[in-house]
């Protein structure tokens, strides 16, 4: 991975301090003990099952063995549910055998167990989300509360909620401490007849943090940086991208309380989106994504290319109502009547190209309108890629 020997063997980011002994299986079938150099966080992750407090809180028994899920298991959670439990047990054992054997392809053996139907494997099954979260202006919040012990209790309770919410959305909590959260999540999955995305998870965490702060009448908020990346890409680079989204984009948005979302495609192309939790764009974007995926709405093929042709027109309008007239004139053929997602797409564009002021809602102009329109096109490409229509 290009890291020094003193760097943690697992996260490839922090300095190693502890030695952790593991057993590995050799090609001959024999097992031998091996030393891993780990940072404090990864060491605690491995050794936490020996803590009586953790055992009681999480329900770990002495017979349980700790094991990180692979990125493929997290991203393709939806598909793994369809695998026979006996086959899954065999897969896990095989994965343990080949984990340290560079001459074998663990990904190939994993794919053999997936349903042999191309239509079932969607692009989002191959993309995992790294979520980084950090509370906004925690110093100011602490000063308003005054009592450090009360704030510590609030953050401790939020941490337990964050752990439960992460598990509810079938993710892997990597680090939860205070107002900081790092988790590995499925990009999307279907369950119980509903379709969920990583945005649903993020919104629930954001609301949980605000509710916890509101218990003491504190105006707290939390910002997120997210990287959706191909599950076989270098993990250390993907983690860095998620951190950069949080620290250099979400945290720089005026007012914070924001989400910076990055899609890093297998080809190397990237699409970045920014949202404020107090604005309607995030809810509209997530709703369109879910409706398109579940088949309750549909876009004309190549709609983002068609809209891009009219970029100059749409960013130089004089009245908000002209956006509605544009959609009515450009999508007025008989075939367009079957595309039920167009009104929501129009609503999203109106929200992207307008801003509320003292005098009411007005259209953005110049560079601001141009930037927001580019974000709008990125949203459409983002949606079409994840549902498999723009590979």
pLDDT, tens digit, 9 for 90 and up, residues 51-88: 555 555 555 555 555 677 889 999 998 887 776 555 65
Q: Does domain 123-278 have CATH number 3.40.30.10?
A: no
Angle (CA) 235-377-316 rounded to 5° is 145
pLDDT at 277 exceeding the cut of 50? yes
- When mean pLDDT is compared across 94-108, 264-278, 350-364, the lowest value belongs to 94-108
Neighbouring-strand partners of residue 128:
186, 229
Q: What is the mean pLDDT of residues 18-24?
A: 75
- In the structure, what pLDDT confidence band is assigned to residue 354 with cuts at 50, 70 and 90? very high
Best-predicted range by mean pLDDT among 93-102, 236-245, 265-274, 303-312? 236-245
Distance spanning both ends of the chain, measured CA to CA = 28
pLDDT at 28 over 70: no
pLDDT-derived band at 27 (thresholds 50, 70, 90) equals: low
Banded pLDDT at 263 (limits 50, 70, 90): very high
Residue 275 has pLDDT above 60, yes or no: yes
For 174-204, the pLDDT digits (tens) are 999 889 999 999 999 999 889 999 999 999 9
Give the domain ranges of the chain: 1-66, 123-278, 297-386
pLDDT value at residue 57: 56
- Average pLDDT over all residues of the chain: 83
Rounded to an integer, what distance in angstroms lies between the CA atom of residue 207 and that of residue 383? 24
Least confident of 13-22, 92-101, 255-264: 92-101
Which pLDDT belongs to residue 109? 58
Per-residue model confidence (pLDDT) at position 22: 72
pLDDT of residue 122: 84
- Comparing CA positions, the residue from 326, 353, 354, 355 lying closest to residue 342 is 326
pLDDT greater than 70 at residue 105: no
Q: What is the mean pLDDT of residues 303-310?
A: 89
What is the pLDDT at residue 224? 98
Angle between helices 148-168 and 198-214 (to 10 degrees): 160
Give 34's pLDDT tier (boundaries 50, 70, 90). Answer: confident
Mean pLDDT value of segment 126-140 = 94
Q: Round to whole Å and give the CA distance between 267 and 201.
A: 27
pLDDT at 342: 84
pLDDT at 231 over 80: yes
Pairing mode of beta strands 172-177, 180-186? antiparallel
Q: What percent of the chain has pLDDT over 70?
A: 80
The whole-number pLDDT of residue 2 equals 41
Q: Which of 113-117, 147-151, 289-293, 350-354 has the highest mean pLDDT?
A: 350-354
Q: Report DSSP letters for 259-309, one per residue.
A: EEEEEE-TTS-EEEEEEETTSSHHHHHHHHHHHHHHTS----TTHHHHHHH
pLDDT in tens, 154-168: 999 999 999 999 999
Report the candidate in 228, 130, 140 with the shortest Cα–Cα distance to residue 179: 140
Q: Is the pLDDT of residue 248 over 80?
A: yes
């Amino acid at each position: 991975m290009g890291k020094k020997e003193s760097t943690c063997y697992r996260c490839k980011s922090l300095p190693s301090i502890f030695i952790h002994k593991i057993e590995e299986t050799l090609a001959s079938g024999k097992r031998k003990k091996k030393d891993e150099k780990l940072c404090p966080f990864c060491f605690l992750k491995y050794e936490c099952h020996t803590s009586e407090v953790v055992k009681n809180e999480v329900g770990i028994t002495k017979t349980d063995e700790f094991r990180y899920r692979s990125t493929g298991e997290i991203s393709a959670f939806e598909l793994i549910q369809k695998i026979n439990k006996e086959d899954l047990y065999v897969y896990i054992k095989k994965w343990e055998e080949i984990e340290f054997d560079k001459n074998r392809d663990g990904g190939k053996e994993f794919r053999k167990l997936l349903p042999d139907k191309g239509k079932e494997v969607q692009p989002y099954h191959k993309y995992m989300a790294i979520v980084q979260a950090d509370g906004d202006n925690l110093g100011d919040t602490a000063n308003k509360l005054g009592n450090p012990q009360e704030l510590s209790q609030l953050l401790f309770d939020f941490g337990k909620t964050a752990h439960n919410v992460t598990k509810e959305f079938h993710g892997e909590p990597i680090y939860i401490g205070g107002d900081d959260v790092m988790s590995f999540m499925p990009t999307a999955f279907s369950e119980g007849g509903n379709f969920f995305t990583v945005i649903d998870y993020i919104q629930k965490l954001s609301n949980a943090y605000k509710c916890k702060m509101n218990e003491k009448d504190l105006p707290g908020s939390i910002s997120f940086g997210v990287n959706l990346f191909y599950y076989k890409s270098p993990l250390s680079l993907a983690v860095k991208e998620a951190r950069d989204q949080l620290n250099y984009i979400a945290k720089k948005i005026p007012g914070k309380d924001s989400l910076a979302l990055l899609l890093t495609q297998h080809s190397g192309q990237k699409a970045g989106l920014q949202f404020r939790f107090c604005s309607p764009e995030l809810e509209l974007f997530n709703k369109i994504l879910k409706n398109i995926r579940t088949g309750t709405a549909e876009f004309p093929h190549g709609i983002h290319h068609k809209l891009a042709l009219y970029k100059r027109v749409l960013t130089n309008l004089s009245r908000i109502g002209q956006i509605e007239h544009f959609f009515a004139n450009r999508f007025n053929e008989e075939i367009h009547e079957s595309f039920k997602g167009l009104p929501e797409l129009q609503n999203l564009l109106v929200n992207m190209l307008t801003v509320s002021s003292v005098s009411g809602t007005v259209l953005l102009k110049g560079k601001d309108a141009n930037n927001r329109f580019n974000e709008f096109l990125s949203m459409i490409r983002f949606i079409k890629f994840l549902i498999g229509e723009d590979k």
